[in-house]
Structure formats: C-alpha cells, structure tokens
Structure 1
C-alpha cells in the first residue's frame, strides 16, 4: 500500500474511531487528542502494518494502547514518592487527623439548646425525634394535631437559630 493509499484509508476510518475514543475518555477534547495521537502513531508506523490485514482493528489496538499508556502516565505523575531521609513530606501538616472534639462540642451545644427549650415545644419535639407519629403525640399530650405540628416546627426553628454556628456554607 502506498503512502497516499494508506493516508486515504486512515482518513476514511477516522469517523468510525471517534465513538471508541469518546467511550474511553468520556470527554470530547480528550477524545479528539486520543484520535489525533492514534493517527500520528499509525502514520509513523505504517511500515509495521501488513497489507491484507484489518486496518480498522490495527487502529483500534493502537488507540486502546495509547489510552492505557496515557492513563498510566497520568497516574504516575499524580503519585508522590517521599525520598527524604526522615520522611519529612509524609509527616508534614498536609495530613489531617480528627479526634472527634468538634463532634463532642456540637453534641454538647445541641443537648444544651434542646434543654433550654420551653417544655411546651421540647416535649412534642423530643417525642417526634424518638419516632412518635403526630397523632400519637397529640393523643399523649391531649392537644390538637395541628398544635403538635406547629410546636415541632417552632422548636426546629428555635434550635436552628441557636445552632446557626454549625450551619454549613455552600
């Protein structure tokens, strides 16, 4: 096969290779780069292609191997090996160890905030928190179900206001 015929065959198969590149990379720009790398490798190694064999399968193999090589290179680039004598980089402050102190402070604040609620709001709220249904709370406290819902809503609002320091910002 002459260089011109080989180039023409590569050009014809480009459209059928693009979906495979997209499947591998899951990104349009990366797929285009992979396709271009595949075509460059195929053209530079055209002397290794045997006439009469399946050119499309050869190109798919080149593309798959190129993708794997690029992926492995990317993983190696992201891996850090600490070669210092005393492992200084591994023992640096980049690693965060949590000791649950924050959770303990939060739990203490939540418990205190609930304890500070008036019993009118605290009792229905705690019953609901423990799994009672609205109608069960209403029967137990002998108040209308609408009042139960209202008091639980008010308790939540009061707790939310008192514990606003723990509100996460998006």
Structure 2
C-alpha cells in the first residue's frame, strides 16, 4: 500500500473520534462537522509534513484543536448580526466636508471680538467653568456668561446656523454653540 493510501485510510478511520472531540468542543453538531472537514482538508494539504510511523490521531487532534482555538478567537472579536440590526445602528458620517466646515468655523471665530472669543474658547474649548474663566479674564462671572452668549449668537449668525439639526457631527461647533437655543428670536 502506498503512503498516500495509508494516510487516507488513517484519516477515514479517525473521523468518528474527530467528530466526537469536535462536538465536545463546540457543543454544536453542525460546527463540529465543519471543524472536522477543515481538519481533514488541512491534514491532506499538509500530508507531506506528517511523518510515517508517528501517531496520526495525535496529529489530527492537534490540527482540530488549533483550528477550534483560531475560530474561537475570531468569533470572540466578531458580533453576530443575523438580521442586520447591529449594522443598521452603525453610522459613519462622511469626512469630506469636515475640513471645509472647520475652516469656515475658524474664519467665523476670528471675526468675533477678542473678549468674546477669549471667553468662548475658555468655556467651550478648554472646558472651564464660568467662574474659572472669569478668574482668568479678571472680570465678573456675569460678564463671562454674557460674552460667551454673545459669541455663540454671533457665531451662529456668521455660520448661518438656524437650528440644532444643522450642527452635524462636528464636536467643536457643538461645543462652541452649546447651550444656545437656535431657531428662536434672540
């Protein structure tokens, strides 16, 4: 008998044991059958690596186990989404417009009075409280609130923003115009 025929007979004889082991690993007969099939295909493709006279069952079980672990690691990173509900929730906003929008925002920001721009940047961009910004600017808290509010109104006008829905995904614009009731008379 040729070495190829001996290997084929050994593979066929190992099928029931491989299937039982695969079922014990996966707890799913369908996945187990796929795992056994992949094991046999991998073993046949790498038959030149098998050394005649060594334990064929141990070699096959090692292949099966490695395939199972690779599949397990892969499945751990994947999200099962049979009906597409998860994928429907994922959104990616186009970024082609972001650069243009940012440049428009920077130009509008530069048109603000210096004291308004300073107050707005301290509160919106730096995340300072009104009290902290007032301390930095050396003015009263009410003055900072007024400057921030006026800066937000002026920015909205310069950027022609009429409502909250026009802000889009840009966090910089949202922060700068945050708390401003757009669309209502000022």
Q: What TM-score do you get using the length of structure 2 for normalisation?
A: 0.41
Q: What TM-score do you get using the length of structure 1 for normalisation?
A: 0.45
